[in-house]
């Protein structure tokens, strides 16, 4: 991993921990906000249409430039058949442009959809959007992470890496929010949660 990117990610994690912004994230038991976002092909995808089919495992990620995010998405891709076998859908959300999400999906060899949340409006509703302070903006640019270019807007915001399981009623049954990319749980640990959701539906 690029040493500058490693430093930028570590500094961002420390800032987020100190700021207490992770405490703003929606917890289990809260209703998930409705959303409708374009996927990597520009096709609008709504949470309502997904939840009509079954539960949703929703991932908020920084983008293709973030090695930890890519590793996490690849790990989820590996267990995607097991997730779908439980009647659930898997989708990721980033603030990257539609084109950047398509490139990320292609280069990381992913088949899961990546939705484009321009400006982080949906991330804000889930309580995981944060603004990068100027000092860290400089560090990101030095690392080659030009967020205004990658996002198609200059708010300098990102989602805190997060995973939510939403049941068909639209209720969050699992919430995992951690700015430290090295602390991501094993995706297989989410399968028992989906089993419980499935049992509650009587399937």
pLDDT in tens, the chain (203 residues): 466 777 777 888 787 777 878 888 999 999 999 999 999 999 999 999 999 999 999 999 999 998 889 999 999 999 999 999 999 999 999 999 999 999 999 999 999 999 999 999 999 999 999 998 888 888 889 888 999 999 999 999 999 999 999 999 999 999 999 887 666 678 899 999 999 998 887 65
DSSP sequence for 97-153: -HHHHHHHHHHTT--S-EEE-GGGHHHHHTT-EEEPPHHHHHHHHHTT--HHHHHTS
Do β-strands 56-60 and 89-94 pair in parallel, antiparallel, or remain unpaired? parallel
Give the span between the Cα atoms of 45 and 115, in whole angstroms: 8
Instruction: Determine the pLDDT at residue 10.
Output: 80
Q: How many CB atoms lie within 10 A of CB 118?
A: 16
The CATH number of the domain holding residue 11 is 3.40.30.10
Instruction: Determine the pLDDT at residue 16.
Output: 79
Q: Tokens at residue 126, please? A: 């889930």
Instruction: Determine the pLDDT at residue 1.
Output: 47
Provide the residue range defining the domain that includes 35: 3-200
Give the span between the Cα atoms of 203 and 197, in whole angstroms: 9
pLDDT, tens digit (0-9, with 9 covering 90-100), for 160-203: 999 999 999 999 999 999 887 666 678 899 999 999 998 887 65
Largest Cα span, the chain: 53
Instruction: Determine the pLDDT at residue 2.
Output: 61
Number of domains in the chain: 1
């Amino acid at each position: 991993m690029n040493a500058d990117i490693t430093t930028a990610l570590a500094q961002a994690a420390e800032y987020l921990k100190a700021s207490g912004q992770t405490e703003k994230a929606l917890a289990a038991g809260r209703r998930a906000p409705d959303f409708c976002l374009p996927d990597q092909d520009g096709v609008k995808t709504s949470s309502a249409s997904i939840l009509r089919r079954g539960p949703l495992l929703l991932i908020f990620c920084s983008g293709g430039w973030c090695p930890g995010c890519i590793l996490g998405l690849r790990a989820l891709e590996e267990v995607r058949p097991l997730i779908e076998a439980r009647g659930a859908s898997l989708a990721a959300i980033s603030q990257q442009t539609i084109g950047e999400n398509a490139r990320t999906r292609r280069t990381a060899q992913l088949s899961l959809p990546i939705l484009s949340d321009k400006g982080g409006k949906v991330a804000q509703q889930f309580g995981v959007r944060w603004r990068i302070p100027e000092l860290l903006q400089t560090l990101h640019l030095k690392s080659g992470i030009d967020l205004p270019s990658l996002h198609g807007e200059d708010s300098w915001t990102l989602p805190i890496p997060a995973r939510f399981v939403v049941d068909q009623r639209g209720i969050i049954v699992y919430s995992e929010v951690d700015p430290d990319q090295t602390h991501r749980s094993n995706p297989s640990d989410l399968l028992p949660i989906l089993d419980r959701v499935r049992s509650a539906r009587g399937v």
